[in-house]
Structure 1
Amino acid sequence: MANELDGRVAVVTGGASGIGRGIVERFAAEGAKVVIADVQDELGEALASQAGPDALFHHTDVGDQEQIGELVATAVERFGALDVMVNNAGISSPLRRGLFTEDLTEFDRVMRVNLLSVMAGTRDAGRYMAEHGGGSIINLSSIGGIQAGGGVPVYRASKAAILHFTKCAAIELAHYDIRVNCIAPGNIPTPILQSSATGEDRERLERFEARIRAQMRDDRPLKRDGTPEDVAEAALYLATERSRYVTGIVLPVEGGTIAGKVMARKAGSEIPANGAPS
């Protein structure tokens, strides 16, 4: 299909880089008018210029509720509507050596950016959509919000809360024909993993990231790395009429990791000609 979002207006928070950028590019390619919200001005302006006249960069600190409201108002003022709201912006909490060394100093900041922004973005976009025929709200969580694990507990808690909030909002806003869904990416190479390792020099940071990526690869059934484009395809589905009867779901995009651990294949267990494992 082509131009699935022709005439639609979308906002993507954290849209200047990583997964957000992938979503912006996919939406623009499908004909959407896109507002890119981010604090990375240079990257955001460059992406808006690249995407053409139907894209606008708006500097937005999503941890500030007032700026979220201004973002929604800007989209409506500039493009005359708001059909799709993608609450994607997020940050990681620092990776420390165990829970006992966690001082939780980043708690307020991580919760503001990761959770408060999603709640405020859903609320403010929903207010407009409720009076204008409905719409689609897509919240970005993480595999870390579904699957328990050690490290970055504040980040994991914030992403888990997004899952529950999304379902609650989906129930409440269905009356207004507003669909609220969640995507939970995992194993997607983006700068957010690097930001969790504070106080590391570049060489140690690269080794740390390589080790984490290798572990992720070993644990998932699909061995190729995911990409922002993979997440963007999921967002496109949830933004379009193809998902008009879908709300309140959590869609993992993570290569099958949460399905379970990969079983080691023994030598000689290749599939024989009759199709049955030997």
Structure 2
Amino acid sequence: MTATGDLEGKVAIVTGAANGIGRAIATRFVAEGAKVVVADIDTGGQGVAAKLGGRAAFFTTDVSDPAQAHALVDFTIEHFGGLHVLCNNAGVSGGLRRFLDDDLRDFERVVAVDLYGVMACSRSAARHMVDHGGGAIVNIASGAGVTPGIGMLPYRAAKAGVVQFTRCLAVEVGEHGIRANCIAPANISTDINAAFDKTTVTRLQPLPHQGRTRDIAEAALYLASDRAAHVTGLVLTVDGGMSLGTPPRR
């Protein structure tokens, strides 16, 4: 992709950026001129930041701990001199169990990371943005939080919470020049989704190809940039049309 400098002069945080979608978003943001803090509990994020050069830095963060979320924002401001964009991407999926067989052992961790972590990071970032000209918050939810389905109900419920939280956040902070939007990916080619059969997955969506992490990065770039200056409260599905329904296949 050709860089256009859409984030030149901006400072961003991307959580869960050691792998997959988060890494792709951090890479795209740096290519567009942003300085980026790669935040993750996985110290592999150090290598990601190193490859991105001096415009990136790594900060170990468990987003489910509000104190660590606050420390992340403080580090970003001290290291790069500000904060304009927060991308809440960190998440865990939990088990694949059907509900009647689920002992809900994953519930607390899934909700703590996928929903509470989004709220904690957003609060810390927004408190800074309020006094510094506004900003953009981009939350990564999931198609599982938009369209009903079977299995992984704690995950689906947490991601649905992210969708509703984003819309409410947009109403709460709009007066301060802060935009809050949400991306709902599905069927993206990542290590987490490697176990799913590609042929089966793509038969469930109108577009007959599996999504790539860069598809989500492009959507995040748009919502983070001034191109989306009049866009807030949006839930952008990037799912090959899967949420529309299963198409006929010859």
The TM-score with structure 1 as length reference comes to 0.87
Residue from 35, 39, 42 that aligns with 2:41: 39
Q: How many residue pairs were aligned?
A: 248
- For 1:45, the aligned partner's letter is Q
Q: Does 1:214 align with 2:199?
A: yes
- What does the per-residue CA deviation read over 1:182-203, in whole Å, with 9 as the maximum and x for residues that have no partner? 0001100223346xxxxxxxxx
Q: Does 1:175 align with 2:175?
A: yes
3-state SS of paired residue (1:3): coil
Q: CA RMSD in A?
A: 1.1
Q: Is the 8 A contact 2:25 2:214 kept in 1?
A: yes
Hey, what's the Cα distance between the residues in 2 that align with 1:8 and 1:70?
19
- What does the per-residue CA deviation read over 1:145-192, in whole Å, with 9 as the maximum and x for residues that have no partner? 001110111000000000000000000100100000000011002233
1:78-227 equivalence runs, <5 A = 78-96=79-97, 98-193=98-193, 209-211=195-197, 213-227=198-212
Q: Can you give the 5+ residue segments of structure 1 that lack an aligned partner in the other structure? A: 195-208, 266-278
Hey, what's the Cα distance between the residues in 2 that align with 1:72 and 1:125?
6
Hey, what's the Cα distance between the residues in 2 that align with 1:258 and 1:107?
25
Q: Which runs of 4+ in 1 moved over 6 A?
A: none
Hey, what's the Cα distance between the residues in 2 that align with 1:73 and 1:218?
45
Match in the other structure for 1:48:
49
Hey, what's the Cα distance between the residues in 2 that align with 1:15 and 1:249?
22
Residue from 1, 5, 21 that aligns with 1:3: 5
The TM-score with structure 2 as length reference comes to 0.97
- For 2:217, the aligned partner's letter is A
Hey, what's the Cα distance between the residues in 2 that align with 1:215 and 1:158?
25
Match in the other structure for 2:73:
72
Hey, what's the Cα distance between the residues in 2 that align with 1:15 and 1:34?
10
Hey, what's the Cα distance between the residues in 2 that align with 1:40 and 1:93?
17
Cα deviation, residue 233, structure 1: 0.2
Q: Is the 8 A contact 1:60 1:71 kept in 2?
A: yes
